[in-house]
């Protein structure tokens, strides 16, 4: 591991907390909750982490998180991620969670968010790590379910910074969620959406124009559309890019083909993130390392990516100054 990468102060803006669930914790929580898994042990589960595309990952991702039942389970999951991030000199995190994946199994929204919030507060107290929580809608479900989730979130509005959109992108375009995003905007949420991961550049345009998001999660499909790249660069619309995720889900054939360097050189506000680190082979440092070793990005470029992360974050100007 490069000392430069290890010592670089980092922020993470694209992290699904359910995607930080390591096989060891999946099995520990399954034992605690009396749940039998389809895999005999941790190594058999880990061996199944061989994905062809986003959907093949999502199937295992939703199966893995089914062990989460109690507030303590959500706390333990978030605490494990935050400790890991702190150990990699990650100073600030903006974390997605997928409430519908839990409420649809009968776990109350309050149980999910209370456990997550407690872990974030402890990390702030123990390590000075700042954080924001982003409620993410599952785009394979109907818009009515997203709107109902927004209603369930109302008592916890003060713990939530924004809303996002994740899960199966193809066939679930931004336009499906125009009303849900309009309601979230009325309630003062900040807005982001996954777009241009497996979907076309048009989904990036639609997320910006129809959903009025301020940041795009992934967005690597922009590389196919030079006019869009120019617009994203001019407006400094951040892209929260996830290099190892793109490799594992075969969005790119190899790290050498990853568009990160070209997007950065074209002046876009691209940032480095781990997405679902338990599933994609690494946390923040591993993602920076992949860009250095697989794509030949220089320390100066890696520094610019880290600075972009601070710029793209939802920290206040004062907090940003303290980080830079």
Contacts of 85 (CB under 8 A, 6+ apart): 12, 93, 129, 283, 284
| Residue 19 touches which member of ligand HPA, Zn ion, none, C-beta under 5-8 Å by kind | ligand HPA
Which one of 22, 71, 94, 197 is the catalytic residue? Answer: 197
Identity of the residue, 240 or 292, whose beta carbon is nearer to Zn ion in the bound complex = 240
Identity of the residue, 22 or 197, whose beta carbon is nearer to ligand HPA in the bound complex = 197
Beta-strand ranges (E) seen in 46-129 are: 90-97
- Cα of 31 vs its chain's centroid, Å: 27
What minimum distance in Å lies between the beta carbon of 54 and ligand HPA? 6
What minimum distance in Å lies between the beta carbon of 139 and ligand HPA? 8
What minimum distance in Å lies between the beta carbon of 275 and Zn ion? 5
Identity of the residue, 12 or 166, whose beta carbon is nearer to ligand HPA in the bound complex = 166
Contacts of 12 (CB under 8 A, 6+ apart): 85, 90, 92, 93, 94, 273, 274, 284, 309
| Residue 197 touches which member of Zn ion, ligand HPA, none, C-beta under 5-8 Å by kind | ligand HPA
The piece of 27-35, 225-233, 275-283, 304-312 that touches Zn ion (CB under 5 A) is 275-283
| Residue 167 touches which member of ligand HPA, Zn ion, none, C-beta under 5-8 Å by kind | ligand HPA
User: What is the spatial distance between Cα 221 and Cα 80, in angstroms, rounded to a whole number?
Assistant: 32
Q: Residue 13 in 3-state DSSP?
A: strand
Instruction: Give yes or no for a contact between 313 and 320, defined as CB atoms under 8 angstroms apart.
Output: yes
Q: What share of the chain is helix, strand, coil (3-state, %, to 5)?
A: 55, 15, 30
User: What is the spatial distance between Cα 288 and Cα 244, in angstroms, rounded to a whole number?
Assistant: 9
User: What is the spatial distance between Cα 259 and Cα 221, in angstroms, rounded to a whole number?
Assistant: 9
**Which residues of the shown chain bind ligand HPA in the complex (CB under 6 A)?**
16, 19, 54, 61, 166-167, 194, 197, 245, 275-276
The tokens for 285 are 């440092």
Identity of the residue, 27 or 218, whose beta carbon is nearer to Zn ion in the bound complex = 218
What minimum distance in Å lies between the beta carbon of 155 and ligand HPA? 25
Q: The dihedral of CA 192, 296, 81, 19: what is its sign?
A: positive
Choosing from 195, 275, 306, 312, the residue that interacts with Zn ion (CB under 5 A) is 275
> Does 94 help bind Zn ion (rule: CB under 5 A)?
no
Total of chain residues touching Zn ion, rule CB under 5 A: 1
What minimum distance in Å lies between the beta carbon of 4 and ligand HPA? 27
Task: Look up 197 and say whether it is catalytic.
Answer: yes
Give me the residue whose beta carbon is nearest to Zn ion.
275
Catalytic annotation, residues: 197
């Amino acid at each position: 591991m490069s000392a430069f990468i290890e010592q670089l102060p980092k922020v993470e803006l694209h992290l699904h907390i359910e995607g930080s669930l390591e096989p060891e914790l999946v099995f520990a929580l399954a034992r605690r909750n009396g749940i039998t898994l389809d895999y005999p042990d941790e190594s058999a589960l880990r061996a199944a982490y061989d994905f062809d595309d986003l959907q093949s990952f999502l199937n295992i991702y939703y199966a893995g998180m089914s062990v989460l039942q109690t507030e303590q389970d959500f706390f333990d999951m978030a605490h494990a991620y935050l400790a890991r991030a702190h150990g990699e000199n990650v100073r600030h995190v903006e974390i997605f969670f997928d409430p519908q994946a839990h409420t649809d199994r009968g776990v109350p929204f309050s149980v999910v968010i209370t456990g997550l919030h407690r872990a974030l507060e402890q990390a702030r107290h123990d390590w000075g790590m700042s954080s924001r929580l982003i409620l993410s809608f599952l785009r394979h479900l109907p818009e009515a379910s997203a709107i109902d989730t927004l209603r369930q979130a109302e008592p916890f509005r003060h713990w939530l910074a924004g809303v996002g959109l994740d899960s199966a992108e193809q066939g679930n375009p931004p336009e499906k969620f125009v009303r849900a995003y309009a309601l979230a905007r009325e309630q003062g949420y900040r807005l982001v959406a996954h777009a241009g991961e497996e979907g076309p550049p048009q989904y990036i345009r639609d997320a910006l124009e129809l959903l009025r998001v301020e940041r795009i999660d992934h967005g690597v499909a922009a590389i196919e559309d030079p006019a869009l790249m120019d617009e994203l660069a001019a407006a400094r619309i951040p892209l929260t890019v996830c290099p190892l995720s793109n490799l594992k889900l075969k969005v790119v054939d190899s790290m050498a083909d990853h568009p990160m360097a070209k997007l950065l050189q074209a002046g876009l506000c691209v940032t480095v993130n781990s997405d679902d680190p338990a599933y994609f082979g690494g946390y923040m440092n591993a993602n920076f390392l992949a860009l250095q070793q697989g794509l030949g990005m220089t320390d100066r470029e890696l520094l610019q990516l880290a600075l972009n992360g601070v710029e793209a974050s939802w920290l206040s100007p004062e907090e940003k100054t303290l980080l830079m």
